[in-house]
A and B are shown apart, each in its own frame.
Chain A
C-alpha cells in the first residue's frame, strides 16, 4: 500500500492530507502538539502559522516522517502513512537551512532524490535540466554550493524537492533567511509555481504577512493546538480568539464591561456593533477607524487626541488617546492633511467593522 503511494505517477490530482488526534511531546513539560485534527485539501497552498514553539515545525516534521507522533494518524491521499519512514513517503521538504549537500554541485544536488529513487541517468539528466529551466537556474548547474547566494540556494533547495514530483511539498520557513526584497519576490514566485503544478504545498512560517500573501488557507497554531483555521481574510478580519487577533497584529482590543443588545460598554465608551457578535472582547482594526469630520456613520463617534504620528508613505499611523484609552489608527495616504501631535480629531467606527473575539490561550 505504502509502496504504491510512493510510486504513483504525477499528473493525477494531488492527494489530500488528513491528521487525526495528533499528539506529540518531547518530555513531560514540552508538549509540541496537543490533539491536532486537520484536513489539508488537495492542491491547496496551506500555511501553518504561529510563534516559535507553537508546534508548527513539529507538525511539518511529522508529515515528512522525520518525527513520529505519540498518538494519532496521518493520512496522505487516504493512505495511513503514520508508520511509513521518510524515505518511503512521496513527500519532500524544503528545509529552513536549505540543507544542500556541500560536497555536490548544483546539478548533483538537484539530481539526488531521483538518483536515490533509481531513475536512469539519461532520464535523470533530462528532468534536472527541465527543472533548472523551470526555476531559472540553468547557468548555475555546474557551480559549487558555497559559490551561491542565499536566494540561489533557496531556489536550488526548492528545485531539489520539486524535481521528485512529490505528492506534497513541505516548506519549513524557507524564506526566513532572505532579505525583505528577495523575500517578497520569492513569495510571489512560490505561489505561481504552486498554482502551475497544482501540487499540495504545506508552508510553515511565523510571519503573518507572508502567510496571508501566499496561502489559500491558514491554520494558526499556539501551544500545540489549532487556534483558527480559515482563509487569510477570515483570520485577519474575524480572528477566532484574542491570541489570533494579537498574532495577526491587532492591538485595539478592549474588554466588554456590559452588553445590551447591540450596544456594548467598553473602556473606550459605548459602541454600537453588529448584533451577530458574541465574544468577550471588542476588536477595532486600526484601518477601520475613520479620522476627520466627514464620517459616514453617526454611531461610534468619539473625540481623540493625537499622541504620536508616523508617516509611513502609503499610510499614516496614529497613536490616539480617547479618554484614558489609547488607540492605534491607520489612515491611507490620499493626500489629506496630516494631523499634528496634540491635535483633537473626531473619529468614528462603522458598526459592521467592529468584531468581538473570545479570550484565547
Chain B
C-alpha cells in the first residue's frame, strides 16, 4: 500500500508550512521524518493522515487520490508524543476500542488484543487503568491501540520524547520489530539523529518546511546531498567552515591548510564549504595525514565514555567527539586533529561535491 505525495503544499495565511513536496513511501517500509521542532514534521504527518488539508497538490494511496477523503474514512492510526489513552477504560478496552468501532466479533477482539498485548509486554496489566501504569506502559498501550487494527498507514509523532532515557532505548529497539512483517506504511517523526540511525529504514531530512533529502537511513547519513541535510543529520552538530582552494591546496583561514582532495580536482579555485563530523576531529593525532586545527576551548563535556570539546575555529564553533576522557580548561588554546579525508566538500551554493 504505497503512499504518494504529489506536489503537496500547505500555506496558512502568508506562512508556508510545507513547500511543494513529492514523496513516495513504499508498503511495509519504516520511514523517519528527521528535523528540528519547527521543520514541518507534524504538519506533513497531518497532511498524510488527512487530519489537515493541503492547499496544493494531492495525496495518493495505492494509486487512488485520497486528498479529500476524511480521516475517519481512511485506515490510519496515530501515536502522539503525549500518552493519549481513554482514562476510564482498562488497558484491554483501550486497545480494543478501534476493533469495537469496527464491530468485530468478541472472540476475534480477544484474540487480537491478546496478541498485540503479548508483543508489547502488556499482558500482565490488561485489567488496569492507564493512570495505574508507568509512562512507558502508557505509551505502549497507545501504540498497541494504533497497531491492533491493521492500519494502512501508522503515524508516530515523536512517541518516545516524553519517556525516560532507558525506556526510550528499550522501546526504540522493539519498534522496528513490531512492524517487521506488516505491509503498512509507517512514518515516524523524531528530532534526534541517533534515534533515526538506530531505527534504520528510510529517512527524510526536513528543514523549514522542505524535505531536503530522502533515502535509506544509512545512505542519507553517509552521503548528505547538501550542507543543510548534513546539518539536520548530525548529533552533535556537524562542523562546517568556508575554505579556499588555491591550486592543489585547501586553506581554512590561517588556521589550517591541507592538500586538495580528489573531489576538488579540476574545480576552479575559490571558496567552498566543508562539513566534518565531530568524531573526525580528535584531541590526539591518529594518523600522519591528520590536519592540526588550533582554537580556544569553549567548554568540555564528558559523558562517561566520550568527551565532547567545543572550541573556536576561525569564526566557527567546532565540536570534537572522542572516546575516553580528554579534559581541556575553558579558554585554553587547544590543538585538535581533523581527519580531512572524511570531510564533505560542498559547492558555494551548498550542494555536495561528489568524486
A interacts with B: no
Where the two chains meet, the residues of B that have a C-beta atom closer than 8 Å to any C-beta of A are none
